[in-house]
Structure 1
């Protein structure tokens, strides 16, 4: 499993990936983060992907330090390219970090953010996310998830059902998770569920706090 520091060059436009959903959801996510993030400190983003989200959030919340991470070398290169382009001192170099790894290459964070990973990874990555977060976060510190989920007693949107089928067709270990299972995993790792926010396009933001 990939784990360790990443020291890429500055990168360039040819290295940047683009996730179209980022432009559509980043402002809605930031509005919730304004309520849930601490006033100061280091925010670790797990599975930063292209790097577009973290660059945007670093501009919206300049008082916070932002630590991107991803297990994919191409993703890390993209993050580095966006970081170089943004030129913001509050974005740290990306870390090679696999959420399912038993050890993470970082020893502390004041909050952890994970966007659109839980459904596009094996369940072991979600279990690892909670275990790793529990080792880093102080009591009451937030772990924030964003993405599509299934909810008990809430009808799943047809678009999410189709997306779930598509994901499982690509990889049987992927797919939309039930919030009941996510909350149970959180409890087992030492987190308490704190809040749910409905988001555009049938997504959710889930807030957990370290107990």
Structure 2
């Protein structure tokens, strides 16, 4: 079924999203089984959103991204219209202008390593109010463990990120757990994913 999506050719497209959406779904489907509304922070191209919304019809998948990226994201969501896939919302985690109800599920993919560490910290500070008092949190991407890269490819990726912006880089899993714990989220599972990525599932 996931091969049936036909996207407009002029929209941004990520082959990595197409490659990893099914493995990610296999983890978030049970994690979000009892959620009614999942907020995706940094929806990017929207490829994950349209797929996950189609496979998780029991919940509303709420996309969000920085205002500069919304136009193309909205076009994709409109093209793949679904009752449980509302229009994307503007969300810059460095700002505090957010009046939406707290979500009982939060998902973000491949975002923490393109944020500066200060913005990663702001992400968790904002998450305290973006997520409900009882909520699931799933974070997908590459992580280091005890300061060590898990693969040579991740090592190269980290350095390519830092060449783009010295503030970017693969984060230490232990530091992310500490930020999550500070707002009441405890690690439930740390899943190994394809291409040397992980999916961290938290709950509070």
Compute the TM-score of the two structures, normalised by the length of structure 2.
0.90
| 1:58-137 alignment runs, 5 A limit | 58-73=53-68, 75-137=69-131
Q: Is 1:44 matched with 2:34?
A: no
Shift of 1:100: 2.8
Deviation at 1:192, TM superposition (A): 1.5
CA RMSD of the aligned region, Å? 1.8
Take 1:122 and 1:61, find their aligned partners in 2: how far apart are those partners?
32
In structure 2, the gaps of 5 or more residues are: 1-6
- SS in structure 2 of the partner of residue 145 of structure 1: strand
1:145-197 C-alpha deviation (Å, 9 max, x unpaired): 00001012865200000000000110011000000111111122222122100
Which aligned pairs between 1:28-39 and structure 2 lie closer than 5 A?
28-39=23-34
Secondary structure (helix, strand or coil) at the match of 1:110 reads strand
Q: Given that residues 38 and 111 in structure 1 are in contact (C-alpha distance below 8 angstroms), is that contact kept between their aligned partners in structure 2?
A: no
Matches of residues 193-204 of structure 1 in structure 2 within 5 Å? 193-204=187-198
Aligned counterparts, 1:5-24, within 5 A: 13=8, 16-24=11-19
Three-state SS of the structure 2 residue aligned to 1:138 is strand
| Distance (whole Å) between structure 2 residues aligned to residue 82 and residue 127 of structure 1 | 30
Task: Measure, in 1, the Cα distance between the counterparts of 2:116 and 2:78.
Answer: 31
How many residue pairs match? The answer is: 198
Provide structure 1 residue ranges, at least 5 long, that are not aligned to the other structure: 1-11
User: TM-score, normalization: structure 1?
Assistant: 0.87
Q: Does 1:147 align with 2:147?
A: no
